[in-house]
Chain A
Amino acid sequence: MALKIPEILYNQLRQHGESTYPHECCGVLLGELDEAGDKFVRAIAQCGNTRTDSLANRYQISPAELVRIQREAMLAGRDIVGFYHSHPDHPARWSATDLAEAHWTGCSYLITSVELGRAVLTNSFLLLGHEEEKHFEDELLDVIQ
């Protein structure tokens, strides 16, 4: 299983992390899932970070914004297939907080490390399992030219 994303969208989400540095950015990946379990990203939705108390190391997407994005995506024949956020001056690996606050099983969680304002690594993690036994697995990220 892989997350396939056009290079232009991949660059956009990385630039989002650079533009919000030293704060975390966040957004939604919209697209579709095929029979083999591969996800294709067709669009991204940049979101505001509503965690104003700790912008440098926490993010949250407003549920109201998610409702609007999900509704508009469905009208366009797309689904929410994942999310992205940045780790300013921190590795592109999921944290205990990332796992504790992840609830979209089957979706991809992209994390970009941003060091001194420059996007470095972007990794994808697939959330699996029920809430009580959920876990992340590394996911192949296929950037399409």
Chain B
Amino acid sequence: MSIKVLIPTPLRPYAGKQSVIEVTATTVGEALNDLVTKHPDLRKHLFSEDGKLRTFVNVYLNDEDIRYLSKDATAVKETDTITIVPSVAGGR
């Protein structure tokens, strides 16, 4: 099925300058795989060399962090939206 992935501003140069990309998937893992297959330049910005999500990349299914769901195996449905948000932190 087709679901939407929202792309944050820093990753858009690697995603054809698009803010929303439609992918075909039944799980979050499949959605991310389809995303990097369509836009290969995104891969190194989302995943480390061992294929895991980079520690500062948060992936949400609607309003839920996939780390607290079933991670890559989390099932998706047609009306779902996946949002990618790099973390924001710092301090003096």
Contacts and interface: CB of A to CB of B under 8 A. Distances in A.
15 contacts: A26-B88, A33-B9, A59-B89, A60-B87, A61-B87, A63-B87, A64-B63, A66-B58, A67-B60, A67-B83, A74-B6, A90-B92, A97-B91, A98-B90, A101-B87
Interface of A: 24, 26, 28, 33, 51, 54, 57-61, 63-64, 66-68, 70-71, 74, 79-81, 83, 85, 87-88, 90, 94-95, 97-107, 109, 130-131
Contacts of B9: 33, 79-81, 104, 106-107
A104 B8 contact: yes
Interface string B26-52: 000000000000000000010000000
Contact of A58 (B19, B65, B86, B89): B89
Nearest to B83: A67
B92 A60 contact: no
A85 B91 CA distance: 8
A51 B60 contact: no
Majority DSSP secondary structure for residues of A touching B: mixed
Contacts of B60: 63-64, 67
B10 A66 contact: no
Contact of A103 (B13, B56, B91, B92): B56
Interface of B: 6, 8-10, 13, 19-20, 45, 54, 56-58, 60, 63, 65, 81, 83, 85-92
Nearest to B62: A67
Contacts of A94: 90
Nearest to B19: A74
A99 B89 CA distance: 9
Contacts of A67: 58, 60, 63, 83, 85
B90 A63 contact: no
B10 A107 contact: yes
Contacts of A57: 91-92
B59 to A, nearest CB: 9
B91 A58 contact: yes
Contacts of B88: 26, 28, 60-61, 66, 83, 101, 103-104
Contacts of A79: 9, 19
Nearest to B85: A66
